[in-house]
Structure 1
Amino acid sequence: MTFSPVLPLLALLTAVNALSNGVAKLPVLGYNTWNAYHCDIDQDLVVTTAELVVSLGLKDAGYMHVNIDDCWAEKNRSSAGELVPDQVRFPNITDMTSKIHSLGLHAGIYGDSGWFTCAGYPGSFEHESQDIKSFQDWGFDYLKYDNCYIPYDEIIREGIVGKYQRMADAIADLAKDSGKTPFIFSLCEWGWSQVWLWGSTIGHSWRVTGDIAPQWSSLASIINFNSFITQATNFYGHNDMDMLQLGNGGLSYDEAKSHFTAWALMKSPLLIGTNLSAITPDILGILTNKEILAINQDSVVGESISPFRWGINADWTSNSSFPAQYYSGPSENGTVFMLLNTLDEPADMFFSLTESPWIRAGRQYSVRDLWTHTDNGTAVRNFTASAVPAHGVVALLLKDAGNEPNGTSPPCAVTSNCASENGTSVA
C-alpha cells in the first residue's frame, strides 16, 4: 500500500502550543521493569536493579531513571481513596525511592487513565490530583500513564485527549502548589488516536504503537510506522517506540544493534527492559555506545532522523515487514545517516549524498562510523556500505570537509534538471 505524505506534514503541527515545562527536553534514558519481570517485582529487585545501573556503567552512559511498571499496588484503595503500595512486595516504597536517589538516579512509577491499570490494579480516573500527590510524596518524578479500562462515554464525556489532559492538569497544579519540578509525563496511549498529533500539548513522550516483542518482525513494524511521523519529535516531545528489548532473546546481535540504533537516532526514549543481572557484554556494549547516545541526547538539534529513500519499496510505501532503509537528519556535529538492511540476506547499500536534504552539493564529507568508531575517509558525491548484514545497520556521521575536487564529473551529482548558465541541460 502507498502511504500518504499528508500525515507527516500534519505532524508538523504538534509544535504549536507544545508543552515546555522545563523537564524532559531530551529523551529519557533509564530502566523499566516490565519487559524483564512483568508483575514479578518487589522493592528489593528494584533497588538491586538501580545498583546494577550504576555498577555496569549505565548511569555513566546517561541512563538516569529506574521506573517500576504495573502491579506495584494493592488491588483496593484505602478508606480515604488513596493508592496503597503492595504491603508484601513494597512495604516501604519511600525507602526504595530514597535508595534510588542515593545512587544519583531518578525514580518513575506507572499509572492508568482509566478505572484500572492493564493488569487490573486501581487506575487514576477521578483520582488524578490525589494520586500524583501520592507519587510525589513517595519520591517519584516520572509517570508512565496507560490507557486501559476506559470509563463509559456517559461518565467520562471526554475524548482521548481530555482523558489524558486530566492528569496533565493535575501535574501542572501540583508543580505550582508544591514549587517542585513537574513530573515527566509519558503517555502510553498506543497511537490509536493519532497521539503524535496532540501528545506534545500534554506530555513529554507518547507511545506510537502497541507493545514491542523481541522479534525482528515487531521491530520492523514499529520502525515502519514511526518512519511516517518522525516530524512529530523535537524538543517538545518524543515519539516513544516502546522499551528496548535487547537481551531478552529472539534477536540476533545485528538485529539488536539495528533496534538500538533506530530507537536512538529517531530520538525515542531509551528504557532498558533487560534483566541486568544476566546482561551479556555484547548487549551492554550496544546500550553504552556513546556516539549513538550523543545523537539521541543532542542538546542543539531535537529532531529525529527521517527517510530520504525507502529502498526496496517505492518512496512513501508502508510495509510492516520491509520499512524504509535510508535515513538522515541534522545533528550538532554533522549529518547523521542510518542505513537499515531490512532484507534477510547481506546487501550493499548505496546512496548519493545529496539525496539527503542536509547535504550540500559540491562539497565533500568526512565519514565517521558510529559503530566501529573509526574515521573512514572522505565521501564525494556518494557512499556505499558493503555487505551490510541481514537486518543489520550502518550509522554514520558526515561532516563538511570543504569543496569537492575540481573537475569532478558530471557537473551535477543528480543530472535531472541540471543545466548550465545558458540553459543547456546535462544529460
Structure 2
Amino acid sequence: MTIITTTTTPIVTSFSPMESVALLQWGSNYLFSSSVLYQIIQDKPILGEIMDKCRWNSWNHFQCEVNEGTVKSTADALVSTGLAALGYKYVNIADDCWAEYNRDRNGNLVAKASSFPSGIKTLADYVHSKGLKLGVYSDAGYTTCSKTMPGSLGHEVQDARTFAAWGVDYLKYDNCYNDGSKPYDRYARMSYALRKVGRPILYSICEWGQENPAKWAGSLGNSWRTTTDIQDKWDSITSLADENNVWGRFAGPGRWNDPDMLEVGNGGMSLEEYRSHFSIWALMKAPLLIGCDVRSASIDTLRILKNKEVIDVNQDLLGVQGRKIRSQAGLEVWAGPLSRSRVVLVLWNRSLSRKPITVGWREIGILPAKHVIVRDLWMHSYVSKNLRFRMTAYVDPHACKMYILTPV
C-alpha cells in the first residue's frame, strides 16, 4: 500500500497487488481501486482530517444540560483516562442548546450566558491547551431541534466565519425546522461556506438518512447520518447496524457513513451488548463518538472504549467499511478487508442462547487453502497461527467475537 501525507493525516493512494486482489474478492460493493480512491481524494475538498473519527459528544448523556464546566472537565478526563492518547481528540458540544435564542444586533450567534459565560472562543482555547479539539452544533433550518437556539439557514457564511474565528474544529449540522428545500442544497451551502474560512473544520451532516445522503453527501462533508437517532437499547443497536450496512459501498477515507453516537456506558445494555455495539461500529468504520460521561465512566466501560486493537480496525488506512456477510437465525458473520492484506471478522450472536458460528475462508475473501493467523481483539491473544479453510467459535447471547485474520 502506498500512502501520501498531508499536514494532518496519511492518505492511501494505491494498494499492493495482494490488497487489490482482496478488494476485488469483496465484489462490486467495493470499488476502491487505486485510481478510484485517488480520484475521490482529488475531487473531495478536505474539510478535516481523513481518518479522525474518535470523539466525545455531549448529547446522549447530557442533552440540554451541558455547560462550560462539563466541557472543560470532560476535556480533562479525556486526557487523564488515556482516551485522548488513543485518538479521542474532539470534545463536541453537539447537539444543541449552547447558544442564546436570539442573535446579536449584527446577526451573529451568541453563546448562552447562563451555560457558557466565558464564550466559545475561550472554551476552544482551553480545549486546545489540552491538545484536543472543539466541536459545536447547528442546524440547516431556522431553529435547531430543541427550538432553543437559531439555526444557520440563511446565515451559512456568517456562521461559518464565526465558528472559524472562535477556533472551532468540528460542526455537526442537523436537519430540523427547515424551509422544505432539498437537503443537498441546504447542506451544500454550509459546506461551501466552511471551505472558505481558512480553517479545517470537520463537517458532520445529520440528515437522518431520509433522502439517502450516502449517495450525495460524500462531496460535501466528512460524514453523514444514515439512520434515525440511536437509543440505549439492544433493538436500536441492531436496527441501526442493519440500516448503516446498506450503504457501505459509498464510504471511504474522509467520507464515512454515520449510524449515530455510541451508547457504551450509559447503562441501558449489558457489557456484552456494549462490546457488540463498539465492535460493529468499529468494523463499519463509523465515527466513534463516546456518548457517556467519561468523568465517571466505570472500569468496564473504559476497557471497551480504550480497546486499542478495535480502535485500530476503525482507523485502518484502507478505509473500507466492513459489512454483513451472512445472517441465519440471529447468527451473523460480518467482515471487511484491512490494510496489509488482512481481514477483520466479527461473529455476532443476536439470538438468546449460546451458539456456535462457523465461517469459511472463501466467504470472507481468503483463499480456502491459505494458512491464517487468527488474533482475538477482545482477549488480546492469538487463537491460532496456522488455521486453514474455516473457523468456529461459540458465542454468548448478544455477544460477539472479533478477530483479525492474517493470511501467511
Question: Once the two structures are aligned, what percentage of the paired residues are identical?
Answer: 36
Matched to 1:384, the amino acid is T
CA apart distance, 1:295: 1.1
- Which residue does 2:345 correspond to in 1? 337
Distance 1:379 1:11 in 2: 27
- Which residue does 1:392 correspond to in 2? 399
Q: Does 1:258 align with 2:281?
A: no
Query: Does the residue aligned with 1:340 lie in a helix, a strand or coil?
Result: strand
Q: 1:94 to 1:293 in 2, by over 3 A?
A: same
Query: Does the residue aligned with 2:197 lie in a helix, a strand or coil?
Result: helix
- Which residue does 2:186 correspond to in 1? 163
Q: Does 1:350 align with 2:358?
A: yes
CA apart distance, 1:11: 8.8
Query: Does the residue aligned with 2:65 lie in a helix, a strand or coil?
Result: coil
Correspondence for 2:154 among 114, 117, 126: 126
Matched to 2:399, the amino acid is G
CA apart distance, 1:27: 4.4
Q: Does 1:293 align with 2:301?
A: no
- Which residue does 2:213 correspond to in 1? 195
- Which residue does 2:134 correspond to in 1? 107
Query: Does the residue aligned with 1:325 lie in a helix, a strand or coil?
Result: strand
- Which residue does 2:109 correspond to in 1? 83
Matched to 2:98, the amino acid is W
Query: Does the residue aligned with 2:162 lie in a helix, a strand or coil?
Result: helix
Correspondence for 2:242 among 224, 229, 237: 224
Per-residue deviation, residues 177-221 of structure 1 (Å, max 9, x unmatched): xxx3x3110001100000111110100000111110011000000
Distance 2:58 2:152 in 1: 20
Matched to 2:261, the amino acid is M
Deviates more, 1:221-230 or 1:51-60: 221-230
Distance 1:49 1:26 in 2: 23
- Which residue does 1:54 correspond to in 2? 79
CA apart distance, 1:236: 3.6
CA apart distance, 1:20: 4.1
Distance 1:245 1:307 in 2: 21
CA apart distance, 1:23: 2.4
Matched to 2:388, the amino acid is V
Q: Does 1:234 align with 2:242?
A: no
Is the Cα–Cα contact under 8 Å of residues 222 and 241 in structure 1 kept in the other structure?
Answer: yes
How many positions carry a matched residue from both structures?
371
TM-score normalised over the length of structure 2? 0.87
- Which residue does 2:7 correspond to in 1? none
Q: Does 1:305 align with 2:328?
A: no
Is the Cα–Cα contact under 8 Å of residues 50 and 253 in structure 2 kept in the other structure?
Answer: yes
- Which residue does 2:4 correspond to in 1? none
CA apart distance, 1:9: 6.6
Distance 1:397 1:353 in 2: 13
- Which residue does 2:14 correspond to in 1? none
- Which residue does 1:138 correspond to in 2? 166
TM-score normalised over the length of structure 1? 0.84
Distance 2:357 2:218 in 1: 35
Matched to 1:142, the amino acid is Y
Query: Does the residue aligned with 1:39 lie in a helix, a strand or coil?
Result: helix
Is the Cα–Cα contact under 8 Å of residues 365 and 398 in structure 1 kept in the other structure?
Answer: yes
Q: 1:272 to 1:284 in 2, by over 3 A?
A: same
Correspondence for 2:377 among 349, 366, 370: 370
CA apart distance, 1:45: 1.0
Distance 2:353 2:167 in 1: 49
Query: Does the residue aligned with 1:38 lie in a helix, a strand or coil?
Result: helix
Distance 2:137 2:167 in 1: 13
Matched to 1:103, the amino acid is K
Query: Does the residue aligned with 1:310 lie in a helix, a strand or coil?
Result: strand
Distance 1:276 1:371 in 2: 21
Is the Cα–Cα contact under 8 Å of residues 244 and 258 in structure 2 kept in the other structure?
Answer: no
Query: Does the residue aligned with 1:136 lie in a helix, a strand or coil?
Result: helix
